C-alpha cells in the first residue's frame, strides 16, 4: 500500500477499500485465492463489527465493483499491464479468413 499511496492521494482512494483490494490481490499472488465474497464480508466485519457480515444485495454489489476497480488501479499503479491484446482474437479472425478462402 505504501507504493500505491506514493503515487495516489488518500483523499481519492480510501484506505479501507484499498486494504481490501491489497488483501484480495495478495491472496492471488501467493496462490491462495479467496472468493470476492469472503474478502468483502471479512472487511465488513472489521470495519463495522456491530453490523456483522450482513449486507444487502445492492450494498454487496457496490462493494464488489469498488473492490475490483481498486484492484485494477492497484495493478496499474504497480506496473502491471491489464489491457493486453490477446493473440487469440487475431488467430480466430485469421482462421475464419482462411476458411472463407477455401470455400471460394
CATH code at position 89? 1.10.472.10
Domain range enclosing 74: 1-102
Q: In this predicted structure, what is the pLDDT of residue 84?
A: 62
Q: Residues 43-93: pLDDT tens digits?
A: 988 888 887 777 888 988 999 999 999 999 888 888 776 566 667 777 888
Q: In this predicted structure, what is the pLDDT of residue 103?
A: 52
Overall number of domains in the chain: 1
Q: In this predicted structure, what is the pLDDT of residue 71?
A: 92
Given a cut of 90, whether residue 10 has pLDDT beyond it is: no
Q: Which residue would you say has higher pLDDT here, 104 or 71?
A: 71
> What is the pTM assigned to this prediction?
0.66
Given a cut of 60, whether residue 102 has pLDDT beyond it is: no
Q: Which residue would you say has higher pLDDT here, 8 or 39?
A: 39
Taking a C-beta distance cutoff of 8 angstroms, is the pair 21, 77 a contact? no
Amino acid at each position: 500500500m505504501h507504493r500505491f499511496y506514493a503515487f495516489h492521494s488518500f483523499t481519492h482512494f480510501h484506505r479501507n477499500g484499498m486494504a481490501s483490494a491489497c488483501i484480495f490481490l495478495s491472496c492471488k499472488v501467493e496462490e491462495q485465492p479467496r472468493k470476492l465474497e469472503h474478502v468483502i464480508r471479512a472487511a465488513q466485519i472489521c470495519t463495522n463489527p456491530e453490523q456483522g457480515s450482513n449486507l444487502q444485495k445492492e450494498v454487496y454489489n457496490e462493494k464488489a465493483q469498488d473492490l475490483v476497480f481498486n484492484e485494477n488501479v492497484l495493478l496499474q499503479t504497480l506496473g502491471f499491464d491489464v489491457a493486453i491484446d490477446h493473440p487469440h482474437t487475431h488467430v480466430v479472425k485469421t482462421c475464419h479468413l482462411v476458411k472463407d478462402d477455401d470455400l471460394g
